[in-house]
Amino acid sequence: MKVGFIGLGRMGRAMASRILAAGHDLAVYNRTAAKADDLVARGATRAGTVAEAARHGGVTITMLENDRALSELAHGADGLIAAMAQGAIHVAMGTHSLSLVKALAAAHADAGQVMVGAPVMGRPPVAEAGQLGILAGGPEAAVATCAPLFEAMGRRTFAAGSEPAAAASAKIAVNMMLACAIEAMGEGFALAEKCGVAGATFLDILTDGLFAAPAYKTYGKIIADKAWLGEAGFTATTGLKDINLALAAGEAAGVPTPSVGVSRDRLISAIAKGLGDRDWTVMALEQARASGLED
């Protein structure tokens, strides 16, 4: 399959690498061109512009940080919508607001194109291993066309509905719950430590005695090891962006989300201390500091 891929951050590079390894004809574009060098050396075509990537094949994937980046890339004379052929598919795999996803889906439809929302679950090592969870929302035929690409990148594709915005809402809800889980773990680890329980012991109790799930094992270990200032798999700044998406989605849908406010405040506090580029488990660091456990 001929595929264009736009957005080569750490997640995007890992995902594009899986597509390339699966034998697909891949063209890659990133604003910082050097991020494409490894993929090009392995056989990908370097696209010099967004339009070149979008014209490469019938499917164009975007993996972008935020709404602003996707909106700027999609519109304009040299943008994604203007460059894609009629009938072509745009697969948006970043985490974006419901309002933007709905607007882009309508713009693609007006241009005779199709949009699929397919945000992903998993940190960069999961993407590198091709084990992402993919939440796919869009017309059934378009999702089926993209299935070989999803299979290359993920362990499972979850059918999230016939609209791209349905997939976006599912991802927003997942990240909202994950943020609340990290906050709760931070509180639990802080209480256990202040009462004399070692972090490694509490992690074992948590993950083998109660929550045997990847999120608790992955994030619980970071908290137990106090490794929140190590390499970020998902930054505090990006986490705050997603929390704000959840608050906006809840307000629009008339759904109260009281737990989310605590996570938001922890992230705002950490970012104000210069930790915006650190892993979003700094929520637990903020809890530890509030508990007198960290300077």
Catalytic residues: 171
**Angle 285-277-232 (CA atoms, 0-180°, nearest 5)?**
75
Contacts of 88 by beta carbon, 8 Å cutoff, 6+ apart: 54, 57, 58, 59, 60, 113, 114
Rg of the chain over Cα atoms, rounded to whole angstroms, equals 20
Helix (H, G, I), strand (E, B) or coil at 277: coil
C-alpha to C-alpha distance for 135 and 159, rounded to whole angstroms? 6
> Among positive and negative, which fits the CA dihedral 204, 271, 259, 118?
negative
Spatial CA neighbour of 5 closest among 103, 94, 87: 94
Helix (H, G, I), strand (E, B) or coil at 86: coil
Spatial CA neighbour of 5 closest among 50, 71, 37, 72: 50
Q: Which contiguous run of DSSP H or E holds residue 97?
A: none
C-alpha to C-alpha distance for 8 and 120, rounded to whole angstroms? 15
Spatial CA neighbour of 74 closest among 47, 48, 44, 53: 53
Spatial CA neighbour of 64 closest among 37, 104, 25: 104
Q: How far is CA 80 from its chain centroid?
A: 20
